Each structure stands twice: as C-alpha cells, then as structure tokens.
Amino acid sequence: MNDEPFSAAMSSPYSACVLKAGYSVAQPDGTFKADGTITLLTGPRNILVDTGGPWDRDFLLGSLEERGLSAGDINVVVGTHGHSDHVGNLGLFPGALLVVGFDVCRGDTYVDSGLARGELGQGIIPTPGHSGQDVSVKVRGTASGELLVAGDLFENYQDESSWRELSLNPALQQQHRQRALQTADIIIPGHGLPFRVTRGAQEPQEAS
C-alpha cells in the first residue's frame, strides 16, 4: 500500500461538521471529566477526525446515521494523538485508512507517511507538543476560509491558563500554536467549540 489515498483525501475542499464538542472539566475531588471533540469532514472522501472515548460509541454511530452514513462509509479516520478520549472508537472503522499521530495504516499494513518529518503536506500536519506525535488537519477552501482541526494543540478557545499544564513539550507546542493562529481562520480545538481567529486580537473569538 502507498500513501496516495491518504494524500488525495486531504487535497480538495471539504465541509466540516462538529459531531460533538469536547470538554474538560475539573472536579471537586481533584479529578477531571474529559472527552475529545469529534469532527466529520465530507467531500470527495468522508474523513472523521478523532472518535471520542469508547463511551461515545452509540452517540457516534447515531450521529453518522443521522447524516446518512454508516461506519463503513468513513474512508479515513484521523486520531490527532493517542489519548483514549480521542481514539476510543477506532475499532468501529476497520476498513478505513487510520492515521493516529504519525502512524498510518490500513488493516495491519503500515506505511512511512513522512509525517514525523513534516513531508506529507497534504492536509495532515505534525503539531507535536501536547504529546510526542500530535497531528492536526488543515482544510483549505471552506466557506469560512482555512480550517484547522487541531486536536489538543488547543484545548478550547480560552485555554491560556490550562494548556501548558497538559503539555509534554510546552515550548514546541507554543511554536505550533502561534503558527496556527497566523494561518488558520477557524480552529476546532480538542475540548471545545470552534473559534474564529482574529488577526491582531488579544483573544480568539468563538465561531458563530
């Protein structure tokens, strides 16, 4: 298997639908409740970015069904990183091309995608920092401009007080965050609603 289907899937304009906005909420006992944002990209191929946790199984299948899709209709599944609240339902999509961090496979066949070296450049981009192998999905040509499905590169649209505490490499993550804010028009974060990037503004704005 080569990586041609993976490249082509990201090179044409897509529309995006947030099936579930993630959350991360501290609890009084010192724990926190969290779930990852689930995003569906529709276009020449159907692409799911993050699958939520395993507790989202029925919700995810129901959300796809509401849009006339089954798990078998999903061509590509991207896990922005390997945490359980983002890749807990990979098993629902055994026939899809799976991208989890820098790993790319179809079934039990893995390929060298070049992601770790930033070589693929067709929509999937390396954005490590939160973990060691984070990726984000860049979508050009949407009605709202350039869209970035960012995983936990951004926790939510007001995460300045929290993201560093959750970061494996804050300095590296900060570099990717700044680059994203310079190029994207809309960012879909890993644990919140989409937000619009306003150039020169002190804080990003929630997307309407």
Tokens of 113: 């995608």
Residue 206 falls inside a structural domain? no
Cα–Cα distance for residue pair 118/126, rounded to 1 Å: 6
Domain span at 150? 4-198
By three-state DSSP, how is residue 36 classified? coil
Number of domains in the chain: 1
Cα radius of gyration (the chain): 16
Closest CA to 87 of 26, 33, 152: 152
Cα–Cα distance for residue pair 39/62, rounded to 1 Å: 14
pTM of this prediction? Answer: 0.87
Query: Residue 4: its pLDDT value, please?
Result: 39
User: CB of 87 within 8 A of CB of 44?
Assistant: no
Residue 104 falls inside a structural domain? yes
Residue 207 falls inside a structural domain? no
Per-residue pLDDT tens over the stretch 20-44: 999 999 899 989 899 999 999 998 8
In the β-sheet with 205-206, what is the strand arrangement from edge to edge? 124-126, 135-142, 145-151, 186-189, 195-196, 205-206
Residue 82 falls inside a structural domain? yes
Q: Residue 76 sits in a domain of what CATH number? A: 3.60.15.10
Residue 102 host element (H or E): none
Residue 205 falls inside a structural domain? no
Which residues of the chain fall below pLDDT 50? Answer: 1-11, 119-121, 202-203
Query: Residue 149: its pLDDT value, please?
Result: 97
